[in-house]
Amino acid sequence: MKPLKTHGTHILSTGSAVPSLCINNDMLSNIIDTSDQWISTRTGIKERRILANHQSIIDLATEASFEALNKGFLDAQELDLILFATSTPNDLFGSASQVQTIIGAYKAAAFDITAACSGFVIALAIAHQFIQTGVYANVLVIGADTLSQWVDWSDRTTCILFGDGAGAAILQKSQDNDILTFELNTNGQESHQLSIAYKSNQKLDTSKQVNVAPKNKSQYQYLTMNGKEVYKFAVSSVPASIVKCLQKTELEVEAITWLLLHQANQRILETVAHKLKISNNRILSNIQFYGNTSAASIPIALNEAFNTGHICNGDIIAISGFGAGLTWGTILVKWNIIQ
């Protein structure tokens, strides 16, 4: 039997895309009973990008993917796998295959991963496994969501938080390993705290073994959230997850150069940093411009921080996702992009 050989995972490049339509807090206060002051002090959000009618999540995902491919000097035909982390696909059967066709990645297997705001971190961990085992050499990981299409725009407790966007990263088989460790968690008992529930109107008459045509089409409900519980969950579980990763790698918290958390709320980012005794100037945050873009928030922030020269080679980044499920997890990355 051949000895099992493991490979390193290198982050080759990143990309991101957001819609051009920008809705600021003052504009929102014209349609719901809220104010810029309330939203900014409670969340740090000043504006968010919203998909226009003629656009789809696929437009954003492909734009982010093309940026990552161009920056990595990689032809789409060299991709072996596309992982599309999204909870808002434009096809319930999955949207990854549409991205595969548009970018021309004809040799790549492609499928969706549904894990809301933890989706990108989970997809990175999956990509890393495929590369480590030598199954695939080039994996495109996309995180994209368009929750503006799923929130109730008359519910001021949720609609002010979310925006649309996409981000991407290409992971490549390498001798060096940029992914130091990861850990993932789920607590399904609390899934009701944040969900987009499905309501079935189908009625199956089992005596006749025929499907009685429903009067109303079955459909998903609006996004619902217990903000306070989700807040408490985030500020307790995320620091613990980062500490677990530090213990696994025998690193001290001082080794973390950047804290890159899912961009849900500036107060969550700062509370997590405070609990870990990490200063606020080591938090990567762009929440004021985009709000919570779910699976897209981490790759957008990562791409922007790299493009603006914040992240440098040798930096250690603690990347944590958290959200619906409830799911959460952390990946420790040592940045090593060759420009």
State the catalytic residues.
117, 262, 292
Q: Output the smallest distance, CB 316 to ligand COA, in A.
A: 24
Does position 150 bind ligand COA by CB under 6 A?
Answer: no
Check if the beta carbon of residue 33 is closer than 8 Å to that of residue 156. yes
- Please say which residue, 10 or 262, places its beta carbon nearer to ligand COA: 262
Check if the beta carbon of residue 72 is closer than 8 Å to that of residue 12. yes
Question: Mapping DSSP to helix (H, G, I), strand (E, B) and coil, where does residue 85 land?
Answer: strand
Question: Using the rule CB under 6 A, which residue among 8, 23, 42, 249 binds ligand COA?
Answer: 42
Q: Output the smallest distance, CB 297 to ligand COA, in A.
A: 9
Check if the beta carbon of residue 329 is closer than 8 Å to that of residue 306. no
- Please say which residue, 306 or 328, places its beta carbon nearer to ligand COA: 328
Q: Output the smallest distance, CB 238 to ligand COA, in A.
A: 11
Question: Using the rule CB under 6 A, which residue among 50, 103, 123, 160 binds ligand COA?
Answer: 160
Question: Using the rule CB under 6 A, which residue among 34, 56, 185, 186 binds ligand COA?
Answer: 34
Which distant-in-sequence residues (6+ apart) come within 8 Å of 45 by Cβ? 25, 39, 160, 161, 265, 266, 287, 288, 291, 292
Q: Which of the residues 47 through 106 are near ligand COA (CB under 6 A)?
A: none
Question: Using the rule CB under 6 A, which residue among 196, 222, 231, 310 binds ligand COA?
Answer: 231
Check if the beta carbon of residue 45 is closer than 8 Å to that of residue 166. no
Check if the beta carbon of residue 231 is closer than 8 Å to that of residue 161. no
Q: Output the smallest distance, CB 247 to ligand COA, in A.
A: 25
Dist. CA 286–CA 305, nearest whole Å: 9
- Please say which residue, 19 or 325, places its beta carbon nearer to ligand COA: 325
Per CB under 6 A, which region of 38-46, 66-74, 124-132, 185-193 contacts ligand COA?
Answer: 38-46
One-letter identity of residue 324: A
Which helix (H) or strand (E) segment holds residue 233: the answer is helix 227-249
Question: Using the rule CB under 6 A, which residue among 2, 54, 208, 228 binds ligand COA?
Answer: 228
Of the candidates 114, 115, 127, which has an alpha carbon nearest to the alpha carbon of residue 82? 127
Q: Output the smallest distance, CB 248 to ligand COA, in A.
A: 24
Q: Give strand ranges (E) for the chain.
A: 8-17, 22-24, 47-49, 81-85, 109-113, 138-146, 164-174, 179-186, 194-195, 198-199, 203-205, 210-212, 219-220, 224-225, 258-261, 316-323, 327-334
- Please say which residue, 62 or 327, places its beta carbon nearer to ligand COA: 327
Question: Using the rule CB under 6 A, which residue among 227, 244, 249, 253 binds ligand COA?
Answer: 227
Where along the sequence are the contacts to ligand COA (CB under 6 A)? 34, 38-39, 42-43, 117, 156-157, 160, 225, 227-228, 230-231, 264-265, 292, 323
